[in-house]
Structure 1
Amino acid sequence: MTFAHGAVLCDFDGVLRHFDGQAQAAIESRYGLAPGELLKAAFDPAIMTPACLGRITAEEWVERLAAVVGERAAEEFSRVPSWIDEEVKAILASVQQHVPVILVTNAMTSLERHLDELGLTYFADDVVSSARVGVAKPDPRILLIAAERAGVPAERCLFVDDRLENVEAAMALGMTAVHFTSAADLQRHVEEATLQGDRAAEDV
């Protein structure tokens, strides 16, 4: 097998990790919050942006969220269960036998703890966290940092993300980009990249 790209840069949340939406809704119901109110408050740029850029800690983000939705709701929301898509993990692991896989994620300072809890501390070849590098997607600088850590030029990277604006940012850098919708679709893209790589190797 010859992979057509020199590295895979993959998003974490929304691709590899997913959160329990029912648990989030239950918190809203339990504390008298309107549907969607908790997520709206949690992802308010006024508190989410500094958290994702590492300007405040994850604990400080919870404190600021508590000021809006209440302490107990904020604490419970920060501990909502998450799960790993094992199909996506297996696909990335298969690719990792041939090229580096780098996780590129907009995350808080709690990311390393979450990776440890999920048994993923040593899964990827490297992790580029916005909270640690001080820049977040769709800013192209975080993608260039990831490509540099992978040791390949941007145009040789395959980028995977569930948010279209991040995919467009990667494409603007010359990366091949996949707008993630499902594990099956990701598998199809990986198979296509493998066929392209095998054909290129045969032509050499």
Structure 2
Amino acid sequence: MRDRARALLIDLDGVLRRWDPAPMIAVEVKYGLKPAALLETSMSWDIYRPAMAGEISDEEWMGLVASRLPLDGPEASAAVAEWQAYRGEVDPQALEFVRGVRAAGRKVGLATNATDRLRGDLDALGLTGEVDFVLSSWEMKVHKPAPEFFQQACLAIREVPKHVLFVDDDDRVIRGARVAGLSAYRWTGPEHVPYLRKALDLPD
């Protein structure tokens, strides 16, 4: 029988923060870009990885995205700026889950791949005070699903891996967390919150 988790590590994008595709689509239509051009360009591994690993700033990353768009310089920069103006929305049910975990006396750490823009986003979203720790790949200089990320996260939250529940929406990251010895669960929505509460030994 697995030990009950004593602390929670939870992802930001796709869990605590959700994204409405409409603002991105509107920018692409306005500038004549193909669907998902901005997201696909930003996720190109050769520029995404260093942005998440703290090797380049968010501003530098977005500059590289603009340089790869089929637009002239000023227009490309304007398109990226308009796309980035929308910073997502808090998922109220995920936040309710986090608040319940903390109210029961369990520590909660936000564990996310992010850039140096993360702290400002958390302030803008009202999430800064909603967790006990913020564990950012940009600050840690290592990104999920590297084992070192989970090792550093457990040290920060002061729990051994077997006593930490990790919640993320990415299968690859979930596998990495499990390899590192954490209990890990893929978030698909709030319908499994009762299970997650039991994993943390919390009452229904």
Deviation at 1:4, TM superposition (A): 2.8
Q: Match of 2:7?
A: 7
Kept in 1, the 8 Å contact 2:9–2:167? The answer is yes
Q: Match of 1:159?
A: 166
Deviation at 1:155, TM superposition (A): 0.7
Residues 28-71 of structure 1: per-residue CA shift (max 9 Å, x gap): 11111111211110111121111111111111111111112211
Q: Match of 1:119?
A: 126
Q: Match of 2:88?
A: 82
Q: Which amino acid aligns with 2:49?
A: T
* Alpha-carbon separation, structure 2, partners of 1:32 and 1:174: 47
Give the secondary structure class of the aligned counterpart of 2:130: coil
Give the secondary structure class of the aligned counterpart of 1:169: helix
Deviation at 1:102, TM superposition (A): 0.4
Deviation at 1:193, TM superposition (A): 2.2
* Alpha-carbon separation, structure 2, partners of 1:155 and 1:120: 27
Q: Match of 1:41?
A: 41
Equivalent positions of 1:85-100 (< 5 A) are 85-97=91-103, 98-100=105-107
* Alpha-carbon separation, structure 2, partners of 1:149 and 1:126: 8
* Alpha-carbon separation, structure 1, partners of 2:81 and 2:150: 32
Kept in 1, the 8 Å contact 2:87–2:121? The answer is no
* Alpha-carbon separation, structure 2, partners of 1:129 and 1:191: 24
Kept in 1, the 8 Å contact 2:54–2:138? The answer is yes
RMSD over equivalenced CA pairs, Å: 1.6
Kept in 2, the 8 Å contact 1:28–1:35? The answer is yes
Deviation at 1:80, TM superposition (A): 2.0
Give the secondary structure class of the aligned counterpart of 1:12: coil
- Give the structure-2-normalised TM-score: 0.90
Instruction: Tell me, yes or no, if structure 1 residue 140 matches structure 2 residue 150.
Output: no
Deviation at 1:75, TM superposition (A): 0.9
Kept in 2, the 8 Å contact 1:27–1:77? The answer is yes
Q: 1:108 aligns with which of 108, 112, 115?
A: 115
* Alpha-carbon separation, structure 2, partners of 1:54 and 1:81: 20
Kept in 1, the 8 Å contact 2:169–2:188? The answer is yes
Instruction: Tell me, yes or no, if structure 1 residue 172 matches structure 2 residue 172.
Output: no
* Alpha-carbon separation, structure 1, partners of 2:197 and 2:107: 17
Kept in 1, the 8 Å contact 2:101–2:197? The answer is no
Q: Match of 1:73?
A: 79
Kept in 2, the 8 Å contact 1:4–1:197? The answer is no
Kept in 2, the 8 Å contact 1:63–1:71? The answer is yes
Residues 85-131 of structure 1: per-residue CA shift (max 9 Å, x gap): 11110111111122100011000000000001111112111011000
* Alpha-carbon separation, structure 1, partners of 2:181 and 2:50: 29
Q: Which amino acid aligns with 1:26?
A: A
